[in-house]
Structure 1
Amino acid sequence: MRVRRICLAALLVGTALFAPAILAKGDPSFVLTGTSEQFGSYFPSYLANGYFSTLTAPRGTEPTRGYMVATMDYAKDDIARPAAIPGWNEIDYNPGGGWLNSTRLGKEIFTDYAQTLDMYDATLGTRYRFVYANKSTDVEVTTFVSQDANHLAATRLTITPQFDGSVQLTFPIRLWSEYQPRFPIGKMSGDEMIAAVIASGQNLDNKPIPTPDRAAVWYPGVVRIQSTGGDTKTLTLWLDGRAEQGVAVAQAAAIELPKGLDVEDVQLEQTPDKLSLNLKARVRKGQRYSFTKYVAASREGWGGDAQADVALAKAARQAGFDALLAKHQAAWHQLWQSDIRIDGDAKVQQAVHSDLYYLLSNSTEGTSWPMGACALTPGYAGHAFWDSDSWVFPALLLLHPERAKPIVMFRHRTIAPAQERARQYGVKGTMYPWEADPETGKDYTPHFAYGVFREIHVNADIAIAQWQYYQATGDDAWLKQYGWPVIEQVATFWASRVSYDPAHDRYEIHHVTSPDEAYDDVPNDSFTNAAAQKALRIAVKAAAKVGATADPQWSTIADKLFIPFDEQAQRHLDFDASVPHDKITWMGSSLAWLMYPNLDLPMSPQVRRNDFDFQLHELKVHGDDPNEMMMVMLAVGAAELGDGKAAGEWIQRNLVGFLKAPFNVRTETVANNAGYILATSAGFVQSFVYGLSGLRIDDNGLTEAYAPALPPEWKSLQLKGVHFRGKQYDITIERGADGKATLTRKSL
């Protein structure tokens, strides 16, 4: 599916402890816990609310990088990449013998350790006894990024010293230095990139956990700090900055001290790498002390400047940690009203919840920002791929349509740069880039991946998503104002991009890159042609809905668009028969993708079976380190064939190696641990919403395209709180008396 895996890759993970007792006891599928056994293999997660984030770390107090939605660095000769916002989550503690965050991670130092990601509450809790230099302190840390108040986050450190004496605490905002070395990725070839990385003492090989792969390429951009300040009386910090040649960024923090704390001194520290309030205080043995850091963050076009953020942080402190946390939890509990519930497999249930958690953590409402391929991280440079339209969008559409909508709105907002790109390539309409900048929509595909300018199926994927949103919502006004302009321009593109073959009286599409990207510059890629055909037919229907006149060529081309087929074998071909199908690729073949829910190319049951069997054969013969999305397609394909047992086996395969401990962070392949890939979570969710259910969104509604399927050991699968055309349903799949899976809908 992605040139980015072939060329290079990404970075990420999360935690929480203090879940309501009833939840912790009653539903462990929402809880993931790390132990000290994982100190050497800790794969970081993150906490986020769709607008900004922070990575997790074992102590719960370390400075980690965070990112803000569509906040990009545009350094000269580089590609646009996410700028790491100043690190806001750090608190450090020194009981007298050494600083907590600088002390070696060891089981004998961090005893009785547990770090928990509570996905129901979206909080990270860490608990341990810090034993060092003949002193011990019980430590508890709780961190969250507010789902209720999107500009706010908070971290609370609670210490219980086992001694009387003086301690130090610091509450910094970490001002990151620029990542080095930076490469001119905007113009370097693949060979030049590899040579430069090697010369810098790095490599692009798969690395053992927890070291991220490809960090030499998917490094963060920088925020240039323009002004900083703080006040030791009001215990506040603030800063204004700007992403390199990008948008303005602001942050502020307000510190809350325990009542009755014996404070000895408070100092403001301002250095090139840190803005901090530093505290000395006396503590008593066995007494609990809670220190809270309230943080506000904003960017140009979303919020105000540093002083506005100071006001937000102080207001949060005035309201109190418990009140802020309660509203955050309530907002998440509301999100979980739409859920996927499995009776019969606890591991799969937990994986589904972690995937939904990551999707919800990275989505917004009421915006036109897409989600980057690797969420709020620097992975794949934060660009919007077809992942947004074909993987993330359908996964959210039925459960959380308001969180799917920004993806289709982004494509409408960025029509102009897509039109300009079409002109550059000598075609009409819109030619959306393979890698779109999430702020501007402009093309920032790395030069080393230049071949993907031919992976033009992205244009059809975008139109399909627009139509799906309309089908799922029935919003005629939205279609006319937003969806139709995108669909019409995409159809115009395809009409100008096809070639007519008079000898066979058919239309063809030449010089494309297959989704199986090792096959570059091939004629008549089946997936591309089928997607273009569907986009053209969508345009005809959309025109009728909005009262526009469809170009007659759209139907003519769609009816005569060639999709390669082997009559003797009664199966589709990956692309034109003139191209040998003999390369070792991560997919082996792309035929399974003809069945994927968004495209769902019509075919007979026998052809579907033959395509599926060929895919399995090629995966064994020509496959290498298969992508997680291939597991999804095989699960969906098996369900379409009525084989619940095989579908369940492919779902199980999706748990092995792809989920990195301790917080179920999905990586693109088992061997490549570059970082979290949002589309992998979305794909897994689609296995249930569209795969096992047999449901499809089409002109007739939410239809049962084929009989539902259940793995043999499962009792039921429930899609809770499904939204469709203004109504809500619980959809349940369970076995009847005859042992066959049946689907029922209950209106809410």
Structure 2
Amino acid sequence: MNSFIRHLPRALALSLLLVATRVGAATDPSFVLTGTSDQFDGYFPSYLANGYFSTMTSVRGTGPTMGYMVATMDYAKDDIARPAALPGWNEIDYNPGGGWLNSTRVAKEIFTHYAQTLDMYGATLNTTYRFVYANKSTDVEVTTFVSQDANHLAATRLTITPQFDGSVELTFPIRLWSEHQPRFPIAKMTGDEMIAAVIASGQNLDNKPVPTPDRAAVWYPGVVRIQSTGGDTKTLTLWLDGRAEQGVAVAQAVAVELPKGLDVEDVQLEQTPYKLSLNLKAKVRKGQSYRFTKYIAASREGWGSDAKADRVLAEQARTTGFDTLLARHQAAWHTLWESDIRVAGDANVQKAVHSDLYYLLSNTTTGTSWPMGACALTPGYAGHAFWDSDSWVFPALLLLHPERAKPIVMFRHRTLGPAQARAAQFGAKGAMYPWEADPETGKDFTPHFAYEVYREIHVNADIAIAQWQYYNATGDDAWLKQYGWPVIEQIATFWASRVSYDKAHDRYEIHHVTSPDEAYNDVPNDSFTNAAAQKALRIAVKAAAKVGAKADPQWSVIADKMTIPFDETAQRHLDFDASVPHDKITWMGSSLAWLMYPNLDLPMSPQVRRNDFDFQLHELKEHGDDPNEMMMVMLAVGSAELGDAQGAGDWIRRNLSGFLKPPFNVRTETVANNAGYILATSAGFVQSFVYGLSGLRIDENGLAQAYPPALPQAWTSLELKGVHFRGKRYDITIDHGADGKARLARKEL
């Protein structure tokens, strides 16, 4: 169809493309998530985003919601860096004469025939209902998207069909949010002080009923200080310039399009400290449909320009028209979906895969050096970059969308300077990346109450592993020399300065670390940390040879003599040094399963692997509490590595129960809490397929088969579509052979 469309006149081609988009989404239910009025009380918002900026969804589709822009951080005094909420651009409000739509309580008898559909194939939200209030009714349809084709643009279209004749009012505002209160000096507060302050503010940090955020007391948004605003009732435009608190400049503009032939009675400009709006009065007729469209342009310092330029973009968008912009946006998403994961045999798993890929792709940029915040373009985990970016999100994207994985490794190169300064601060050499990095500056903004996590230094090995993975997946020698090698070399230098030599046992150790099972703080020889450091050092030796540099001879010596605690009697690894009791209740129970995770994949015998896995299951039962979704991923991967396809499928299905909040499959950190939008959990689920069931690993020899593929018996096939590797593309299919065993086939495209 695409080649046929290219020969048609542009307008007709775009019309056909729009029709094809709607048909494609309608015929594949795995791309469609729909909310109903039954979910009004437990509505867990999703978001629309293009990697650069976002907006949260709302039940009505028209309500004011906060949105965020990539690495646009607030730096208030004594606080940690946190995402500054963009002025709310998505709102349109409507008053048929008895009350405003967005102020009316959400109830089934008021919002009848309700449906809100997220079409993930085209990243478009559509909301329909009949608004019945004050003896009047209006059919409402709202369609909103944040453009994947034109990254500075978004649009929302409100279609009303009044069931009466008369005058109505509409407003097209930009909400100028006030600063969140209370704000706490989190950069200085201890854990006890933080808890006391939260309680004193009338809040708590307990798990809460859906959909109330659990950690809003500490993960509140930052503020954009408005510097200038303006509007024009003749051109139906609004614009503003602002600046995130002590951060980057931000600009927005709006252009409104009215229905042709609308009988307009009055248009007013409203400017207050909290609202910039075009307010309209018009006459409508019963049964006639009216389409009102709001075009938004947004930018920030270093990405775009000012309000004047954004106003031009918004007006150009209005000239182009909603249907054309929507078709281009959806076509861009269709191109993204050419790389996909297809599961035949389990519709629920397939839909979850698509929702997780949707959330990952919604938060990726190309050609930048911005990472993805831990909780996407939301204020969760304060928008900071953790090891999640390098070890969970990056590998999930690398084979399917390498251009969207690349900014993560580029971020670590861009922020190498702050990591070197931090190493010096802690008396180490090389580069010591922070546990929580500001996505704009790369500086350490770990909250003071979590300061002990500075010992969770495995992040430095995780970063080196990701850099090497990118090189092995792309074969880009020039990139390695200019960008990857400086990071890898400085991380190896860090580890060489951080280890201790145990002369009595002729081995190297790493003391005073926080385990990935974070309740175990300040332990010696955490197995995960030591194994990751060992791998990072060996990577540095290989990378040096590739770029023609001289490796420090000590790197190999340390790697070869690195101790990884092991119980000879039980023939399994220990979580950390045997001198530390393993007896705490944690969400992981143990971190042994993480020795199998795809990035690390610590070599071990099949029997040791089995023993590690069995111990993990035992400890999860005995010492586990409300396990994180990451653990479900590791158990799925571990089962696949052990050849237990049914077990892997069971853990994958466990990952659907409770973690996915309706109606839009928003993943939360655990089943019990509402810490949502965590990209590591979505990425982990994707890794269960890309690396877990496939048995594939990225190394210097290629895309290697580390162990036989695994496919649950009830599934017909698993297909990794459009895999990118070293300049070529493949479809990789796993199905059942005549002997019943899973088999993997690669087809070059």
TM-score range, shorter chain: over 0.9
SS in 1 for 2:250: strand
1:27-106 correspondence runs (5 A): 27-106=28-107
SS in 1 for 2:68: strand
Contact 1:414 1:440 (C-alpha < 8 Å) held by counterparts = yes
Distance 2:698 2:113 in 1: 50
Contact 2:25 2:121 (C-alpha < 8 Å) held by counterparts = no
What corresponds to 2:6 in structure 1? none
What corresponds to 2:235 in structure 1? 234
What corresponds to 1:343 in structure 2? 344
Distance 2:35 2:533 in 1: 46
What corresponds to 2:459 in structure 1? 458
Contact 2:21 2:330 (C-alpha < 8 Å) held by counterparts = no
Do structure 1's residue 642 and structure 2's residue 658 form an aligned pair? no
Change in 2 beyond 3 A, CA 1:512/1:326: same
Q: CA deviation at 1:24?
A: 3.9
What corresponds to 1:467 in structure 2? 468
SS in 2 for 1:66: coil
Distance 2:552 2:329 in 1: 50
What corresponds to 2:623 in structure 1? 622
Contact 1:19 1:121 (C-alpha < 8 Å) held by counterparts = no
SS in 1 for 2:259: coil
Letter in 1 for 2:402: P
Contact 1:18 1:125 (C-alpha < 8 Å) held by counterparts = no
SS in 2 for 1:67: coil
Q: CA deviation at 1:19?
A: 8.6
Contact 2:79 2:185 (C-alpha < 8 Å) held by counterparts = yes
Query: For each residue in 1:116-150, what CA deviation from the matched residue of structure 2 results, as whole angstroms up to 9, or x when unmatched?
Result: 00000100000000000000000000000000000
What corresponds to 2:8 in structure 1? none
What corresponds to 2:153 in structure 1? 152
What corresponds to 1:7 in structure 2? none
Contact 1:627 1:668 (C-alpha < 8 Å) held by counterparts = yes
1:383-398 correspondence runs (5 A): 383-398=384-399
Query: For each residue in 1:720-745, what CA deviation from the matched residue of structure 2 results, as whole angstroms up to 9, or x when unmatched?
Result: 00000000000000000000000000
Do structure 1's residue 211 and structure 2's residue 212 form an aligned pair? yes
Letter in 2 for 1:503: A
Q: CA deviation at 1:21?
A: 4.5
Letter in 2 for 1:462: I
What corresponds to 1:194 in structure 2? 195
What corresponds to 1:3 in structure 2? none
Question: What TM-score, normalized by structure 2, do the two folds share?
Answer: 0.97
Distance 1:211 1:524 in 2: 39
Contact 1:242 1:249 (C-alpha < 8 Å) held by counterparts = yes
Distance 1:143 1:350 in 2: 22
**Runs of at least 5 residues in structure 2 that lack an aligned partner in the other structure:** 1-17
Distance 1:228 1:21 in 2: 38
What corresponds to 1:684 in structure 2? 685
What corresponds to 2:122 in structure 1? 121
Distance 1:182 1:733 in 2: 52
What corresponds to 1:275 in structure 2? 276
SS in 2 for 1:178: coil
Letter in 2 for 1:630: M
Contact 2:56 2:67 (C-alpha < 8 Å) held by counterparts = yes
SS in 2 for 1:68: coil
What corresponds to 1:440 in structure 2? 441
Do structure 1's residue 528 and structure 2's residue 529 form an aligned pair? yes
SS in 1 for 2:441: coil
Percent of aligned pairs with the same residue? 87
What corresponds to 1:558 in structure 2? 559
1:147-186 correspondence runs (5 A): 147-186=148-187
Do structure 1's residue 413 and structure 2's residue 386 form an aligned pair? no
What corresponds to 1:334 in structure 2? 335
Distance 2:154 2:262 in 1: 24
Do structure 1's residue 264 and structure 2's residue 265 form an aligned pair? yes
Letter in 2 for 1:613: D
1:644-659 correspondence runs (5 A): 644-659=645-660
Q: CA deviation at 1:699?
A: 1.1
Distance 2:74 2:25 in 1: 41
Distance 1:651 1:307 in 2: 50
**Runs of at least 5 residues in structure 1 that lack an aligned partner in the other structure:** 1-16
Distance 1:125 1:643 in 2: 41
Change in 2 beyond 3 A, CA 1:616/1:18: farther
Q: CA deviation at 1:469?
A: 0.1
Letter in 1 for 2:429: K
SS in 2 for 1:270: strand
What corresponds to 1:245 in structure 2? 246
Letter in 2 for 1:204: L
Distance 1:427 1:105 in 2: 57
Distance 1:22 1:435 in 2: 43
Q: CA deviation at 1:557?
A: 0.1
Q: CA deviation at 1:18?
A: 9.6
Contact 2:25 2:122 (C-alpha < 8 Å) held by counterparts = no
What corresponds to 1:4 in structure 2? none
Contact 1:19 1:118 (C-alpha < 8 Å) held by counterparts = no
Query: For each residue in 1:644-672, what CA deviation from the matched residue of structure 2 results, as whole angstroms up to 9, or x when unmatched?
Result: 00000000100000000000000000011
1:724-743 correspondence runs (5 A): 724-743=725-744
1:463-542 correspondence runs (5 A): 463-542=464-543
Distance 1:199 1:330 in 2: 50
What corresponds to 2:287 in structure 1? 286
What corresponds to 1:366 in structure 2? 367
Q: CA deviation at 1:211?
A: 0.7
Query: For each residue in 1:294-346, what CA deviation from the matched residue of structure 2 results, as whole angstroms up to 9, or x when unmatched?
Result: 00000000000000000000000000001100110010000000000000000
Q: CA deviation at 1:22?
A: 2.6
Change in 2 beyond 3 A, CA 1:456/1:35: same
Q: CA deviation at 1:23?
A: 2.3
Contact 2:373 2:385 (C-alpha < 8 Å) held by counterparts = yes
Distance 1:567 1:609 in 2: 14
Distance 2:42 2:626 in 1: 21
SS in 2 for 1:330: helix
Q: CA deviation at 1:675?
A: 1.9
Distance 1:671 1:18 in 2: 41
Query: For each residue in 1:6-47, what CA deviation from the matched residue of structure 2 results, as whole angstroms up to 9, or x when unmatched?
Result: xxxxxxxxxxx9994532442100000000000000000000
What corresponds to 2:572 in structure 1? 571
Distance 1:320 1:25 in 2: 24
SS in 2 for 1:277: strand
Q: CA deviation at 1:718?
A: 0.1
What corresponds to 1:611 in structure 2? 612
Letter in 1 for 2:638: G
Distance 1:395 1:675 in 2: 19
Corresponding residue pairs, total: 732
SS in 1 for 2:482: helix
Contact 1:215 1:674 (C-alpha < 8 Å) held by counterparts = no
Distance 1:309 1:482 in 2: 33
Change in 2 beyond 3 A, CA 1:45/1:266: same
Distance 2:65 2:26 in 1: 31
Structure of greater relative contact order (alpha carbons < 8 Å, 6+ residues apart): 1
Distance 2:205 2:705 in 1: 45
Letter in 2 for 1:267: Q
Change in 2 beyond 3 A, CA 1:19/1:635: farther
Distance 1:451 1:647 in 2: 35
Q: CA deviation at 1:214?
A: 1.1
What corresponds to 1:325 in structure 2? 326
Letter in 2 for 1:94: N
Distance 1:65 1:21 in 2: 28
Structure 1 outlier segments of 4+, above 6 Å: none
Distance 1:479 1:558 in 2: 22
Q: CA deviation at 1:674?
A: 2.0
What corresponds to 1:297 in structure 2? 298
Distance 1:229 1:22 in 2: 41
What corresponds to 1:704 in structure 2? 705
SS in 1 for 2:358: helix
